[in-house]
Amino acid sequence: MPSIATQSYKSRAASHPVAVARDLLACIDRKSTNLCVSVDVTTKQSLLRIVAAAGPYICCVKTHIDIVSDFDDDLIVQLKALAEKHDFLIWEDRKFADIGNTVKLQYSSGVYKIASWAHITNAHPIPGSGIVTGLSAVGLPLGRGLLLMAEMSSAGNLATGGYTAATVAMARAHPDFVMGFVAMKRVDERDETSGGVAAGTGADFVIMTPGVGLDSKGDGMGQQYRTPDEVIRESGCDVQIVGRGIYGGGDGVADEQIVENAVRYREAGWKAYLERIQV
């Protein structure tokens, strides 16, 4: 059967088993953007300013909330308001990696109370399936979704081969909560990692892909970049994740430049998608 990547976002939104994945795919279709902006800044003001500027052009914002030095509850109130205003989802890139009981508490409690505001979060599969069980105990009743870290974009990372295949198998065992993967390609359909499930016959997993850049191939600290076309059209991934290519690093470039960069990546990603599904 044809790959999931040949189907439109709209058709997949109508049938995906995870509610937040349906919301994300519908948002992508509605706004004609497969761009997720990754905002790795250390102040509340910078985070909100960058998100406000990029918001109209994205389907998702990815945060690392624990690096914000002046975090407070008002940051979450304002972030949720921006998501509502500009029609995008919020992904807290927490990368949980502990036993089920611990991640359950990390997800629901503490300073950040991630499950109360983040539509999407993610986890490393290394602790075993208990990590999904623990997170789903909190996230499922709230309608949240989980991405498993199947691959990474950094040089020399260990998320390859059998590890990636085991991650895909873990996701298949939890179709009500695991909505997809952080991965560099369609790991759910490749012979070496699909677990024998033929392309187009298994569950629909959303592939969110980091390491996207139009102007650079690396950052000197192991990050490796590919273009939106390589990620979306050639590799069949669904969402391109762009950080410094949008806001320029530090506290961020001027709003006008953020908008210009976001439009550029949005257009490149959407063109690649249309070519992929041959519209």
Closest CA to 134 of 119, 153, 115: 115
Asked if 217 is an active-site residue, the reply is no
User: Tens of pLDDT along 75-114?
Assistant: 999 999 999 999 999 999 999 999 999 999 999 999 999 9
Q: What is the pLDDT of residue 257?
A: 97
Q: What is the pLDDT of residues 145-188, one digit of tens each?
A: 999 999 998 888 898 999 999 999 999 999 999 999 999 999 99
CB atoms under 10 Å from CB of 67, counted, come to 12
Q: Is 36 helix (H, G, I), strand (E, B) or coil?
A: strand
Q: Is the pLDDT of residue 279 over 90?
A: no
- The pLDDT assigned to 153 comes to 86
Position 159 scores a pLDDT of 87
Q: Residue range 119-125: average pLDDT? A: 98
Residue 98 tokens read as 């502990």
How far out from the chain centre does Cα 259 lie?
A: 20
Distance from C-alpha of 118 to C-alpha of 232, rounded to nearest angstrom = 25
Above 70 in pLDDT, residue 219? no
* Short-list 244, 242, 234, CA closest to 271: 234
The amino acid that residue 138 corresponds to is V
**Percentage of the chain lying above the pLDDT 70 cut:** 97
Inter-residue contact 118 to 90 (CB < 8 Å): yes
From 95, 104, 185, 217, the catalytic residue: 95
pLDDT tens digits along 33-71: 999 999 999 999 999 999 999 999 999 999 999 999 999
